[in-house]
Amino acid sequence: MRVGILCERSGVVRDAFIRQGHDAISCDLHDTLSPGPHIRGDCFDQDWLGFDLLICHPDCTYLARSGLHWNKRRPEREAMTEEAVLFVVGLSLLPAPRIAIENPIGCLSSRWRKPDQIIQPWQFGEDASKATCLWLKGLRPLTHTDVLPGGREARRGNQTASGQNKLGPSEHRKHERSKTYQGIAEAMAEQWGQPS
């Protein structure tokens, strides 16, 4: 299959598809952090005709529940949220028969549509908690591959005792928090890389 991984600089999802034998390429405004097929540029400037699957990871800065409270304190952010919602809707309209869009819990559920699935890394063998919504076109929801004990009540390796993310402030924090967990990337490649 020809697979485009949009708004991904880590290469995690792209490389999972390549390992499964697919022709995969990532696209982001920044250089890739992992050597491999990559387009540096705006994903809307690229031709995605002929691609079988697009997996999109739009920036969550103005969409995620964790940051929306800033819109009341800084009204200029509201316009950025509107732009971000329109960006996601644009991704959903790209010319591919199968599209997945992922983002944390946030305003997309009310401003666009409810997600088709909400997954957690601990459902895919990762000792981490991070609720991730998936909006799907032409794809089945992911089947959990390795559910760790404790369910949603358990504190995971990426959490403090109070449930917050352990990553402290740094210039790399945003990228580290947005990176797709390996177990989820492998599940995407194994399950969505099959003929529908």
Q: What is the mean pLDDT of residues 188-193?
A: 98
Nearest-angstrom CA–CA distance, 120 and 131: 5
Closest CA to 56 of 22, 28, 32: 28
Return the pLDDT at 173. Answer: 45
Return the pLDDT at 30. Answer: 95
Angle at 10 between CA 16 and CA 132, to 5 degrees: 75
Nearest-angstrom CA–CA distance, 189 and 17: 5
| Residues 167, 102, 85, 104, CA torsion sign | negative
17-31, 79-93, 172-186: range with lowest mean pLDDT? 172-186
Q: What is the mean pLDDT of residues 24-42?
A: 97
Name residue 30's amino acid: H
Domains recognised in the chain with CATH numbers? 2-192 (3.40.50.150)
Instruction: Give the residue ranges of DSSP H helices in the chain.
Output: 12-19, 65-68, 70-73, 76-92, 108-111, 173-178, 182-192
Q: What is the mean pLDDT of residues 122-141?
A: 94
pLDDT in tens, 137-167: 999 999 999 999 888 778 777 655 655 655 5
Res. 135: pLDDT tops 50: yes
- Backbone φ, ψ for residue 144 (5° rounding): -60, 140
Residues above pLDDT 70, as percent of the chain: 85
Q: What is the mean pLDDT of residues 7-31?
A: 97
Using CA atoms, how far residue 74 sits from 50, 63, 66, 80, 130, in Å, is 42, 15, 15, 11, 26
Nearest-angstrom CA–CA distance, 125 and 127: 7
Return the pLDDT at 175. Answer: 54
Q: What is the mean pLDDT of residues 40-49?
A: 98
E runs forming strands in 70-178: 98-104, 117-119, 132-137
pLDDT in tens, 49-88: 999 999 999 998 878 877 666 666 777 778 788 899 999 9
Mean pLDDT of the chain: 88
CA atoms within 13 A on the CB side of 77: 13
Return the pLDDT at 11. Answer: 97
Q: What is the mean pLDDT of residues 112-136?
A: 95
Highest-scoring range by mean pLDDT, 12-21, 63-72, 156-165, 168-177: 12-21
